Amino acid sequence: MGRAFQASSELFRRSKEVVPGGVNSPVRAWNAVGGEPLYIARADGSRVFDEDGRGYIDYVCAWGPLILGHAPRAVLDALAEAGPRGTGFGAPTKGELELAELVSARMKGIEQLRLVNSGTEATMSAMRLSRGYTGRTKVLKFDGCYHGHVDGLLAKAGSGVESLSLPDSAGVPESFTGETLISGFNDVDSARRLIAEHREDLAAVIVEPVCGNMGVIPPEPGFLEALRELTRRYGVVLIFDEVITGFRVAPGGAQERYGVTPDLTCLGKVLGGGLPVGAFGGRRDIMSCLAPVGPVYQAGTLSGNPVTVAAGLATLRALEEKGVYRELEEKGRKLEEGFKGVLSSGVEGAVNRVGSMLTLFFGPDRIAAPEDARGCDRDRFSRFFHGMLARGIYLPPSQFEAQFVSLAHGDDDIAATVAAFADWAAEDSSRR
């Protein structure tokens, strides 16, 4: 990586000796863009600083949780107050009750909520609950949607998208993913056929209401509404995976933004204010199937951790301030328009945005489904990533991830980011 990244390079060398691949989550290894990852030493507001002391405008935002920016005073104060009272009790606390009440008040689809420790745990638990509630076994997911590293959801399409599925990871038996069906995202006809065909065995339909792990792909008009009507018709549980979109794209998540209420909702990221968290909740009659009142078992030693809960409460309360979501929308719009302005100068690509999350795709001028995203120019994205990094902009190291804008990003940050893109684009074009 050169002398400027000596500290990160040395840390990565050491890490590979004791951590598989040198990282604790695969995308951090930068395999999709090449090179070695930066090691972040600290962060403040809209910026991160690596171990060599270089600063960057950050659009990773810890992959979405940091909607207030890095180290916001409200969260730091909450942590300073909560920590001395104890870091864990293994018993109920007032804070977890208040967080559940706040979430339930914000999200129409959540009458009861249970806290867990990650988005993966939330989706896994929601699937088990759906099966216990319906007495059925199969689950329908959508191509391009990621729901954590749950065995049954690490599935890829067999022969064609609309199909029974195959394992997408070693270590996952085909018998596990054999209970998973895959439909095309934004493809109502595909979903209708599969739901009708498997209605006797189908426990749940799980979907990211905004696809966030093939880059940002919004739902086409009528797609979520059709899923709601079909699942209600056949007594299937509709699960929205709002781990990314919850409290990010609207006060009540994507279900508020698009006016579609699911039966169960999975949450994470923003809910914890930057600390590890997950949650799942929904209709009271479904949630009452959980132990200790029902037969579906689910538990967690650190669920509702008081320090995490304090950070989550501080974050959600800060988001109650008047005009916050209008401000986030405006920041996202300015970045989108700036990127599109550069594209209009002769760079082939598209920008998809929902609120304060967006993705710049290279190649196609319209991305409406995961198969469109897969046709993007990944080599050009890799050059873009490294070119922006050299200009002080820290982006997600993959074409298929969302960029996040926080309340800490100022107009000057956005202007600097657009200027860096324009400068890189001119340089890249001259070399082609």
What Cα–Cα distance (Å) separates residue 248 from each residue in 157, 252, 254?
29, 9, 8
List the single range of 127-131, 152-156, 161-165, 193-197 with lowest mean pLDDT: 161-165
302, 318, 334 - which closes a domain: 318
Does 196 score more than 80 pLDDT? Answer: yes
Does 161 score more than 50 pLDDT? Answer: no
291, 318, 345 - which closes a domain: 318
Residue 43 and residue 90 share a domain: no
Rounded-to-integer distance, Cα 254 and Cα 409, Å: 22
| Between residues 170 and 385, the one the model is more confident about | 385
Residue 61 and residue 81 share a domain: no
Determine contact, residues 372/357, Cβ cutoff 8 Å.
Answer: no
| Between residues 220 and 169, the one the model is more confident about | 220
Residue 342 and residue 209 share a domain: no
Residue 374 and residue 230 share a domain: no
Residue 3 is predicted with a pLDDT of: 55
pLDDT band at 160 (very low <50, low <70, confident <90, very high): very low
Residue 177 is predicted with a pLDDT of: 80
Determine contact, residues 423/59, Cβ cutoff 8 Å.
Answer: no
Residues linked to residue 359 through DSSP beta bridges, in sequence order: 352
State pLDDT tens for residues 351-380: 999 999 999 999 999 999 999 999 999 999
Residue 239 and residue 198 share a domain: yes
Residue 253 and residue 145 share a domain: yes
Using DSSP's 3-state secondary structure scheme, residue 139 falls into strand
Does 349 score more than 50 pLDDT? Answer: yes
DSSP labels for 44-110? EBTEEEETTS-EEEES-GGGTT-TT-BS-HHHHHHHHHHGGG-S--SS--HHHHHHHHHHHHH-TT-
pLDDT band at 430 (very low <50, low <70, confident <90, very high): confident
Residue 167 is predicted with a pLDDT of: 73
Q: What is the domain count for the chain?
A: 2
| Between residues 151 and 94, the one the model is more confident about | 94
What Cα–Cα distance (Å) separates residue 202 from each residue in 137, 185, 365?
6, 18, 36
State pLDDT tens for residues 304-339: 999 999 999 999 999 999 999 999 999 999 999 999
- Averaged pLDDT, 167-190: 88
Determine contact, residues 215/359, Cβ cutoff 8 Å.
Answer: yes
Residues linked to residue 139 through DSSP beta bridges, in sequence order: 180, 204
- Check which CATH number belongs to the domain holding 130 and give it: 3.40.640.10
Using DSSP's 3-state secondary structure scheme, residue 234 falls into helix
Does 232 score more than 90 pLDDT? Answer: yes
pLDDT band at 164 (very low <50, low <70, confident <90, very high): low
Range of 193's domain? 73-318
List the single range of 66-80, 99-113, 143-157, 396-410 with lowest mean pLDDT: 143-157
Name the nearest CA neighbour of 56 among 38, 68, 72, 74: 38
Residue 422 is predicted with a pLDDT of: 98
pLDDT band at 256 (very low <50, low <70, confident <90, very high): very high
Determine contact, residues 181/188, Cβ cutoff 8 Å.
Answer: no
State pLDDT tens for residues 72-113: 999 999 999 999 999 999 999 999 999 999 999 999 999 999
Residue 172 is predicted with a pLDDT of: 78
Residue 158 is predicted with a pLDDT of: 47
Rounded-to-integer distance, Cα 290 and Cα 165, Å: 28
- Check which CATH number belongs to the domain holding 20 and give it: 3.90.1150.10
Does 159 score more than 70 pLDDT? Answer: no
Q: What is the dihedral of CA 284, 290, 291, 297, to 10 degrees?
A: -170
Residue 157 is predicted with a pLDDT of: 53
Residue 167 and residue 18 share a domain: no
Residue 311 and residue 410 share a domain: no
318, 338, 356 - which closes a domain: 318
Catalytic residues: 146, 241, 269
Residue 287 and residue 389 share a domain: no
% residues pLDDT > 90 (the chain): 90
Residue 77 and residue 52 share a domain: no
Residue 329 and residue 382 share a domain: yes
Residues linked to residue 165 through DSSP beta bridges, in sequence order: 157
Residue 188 and residue 137 share a domain: yes
Does 390 score more than 90 pLDDT? Answer: yes
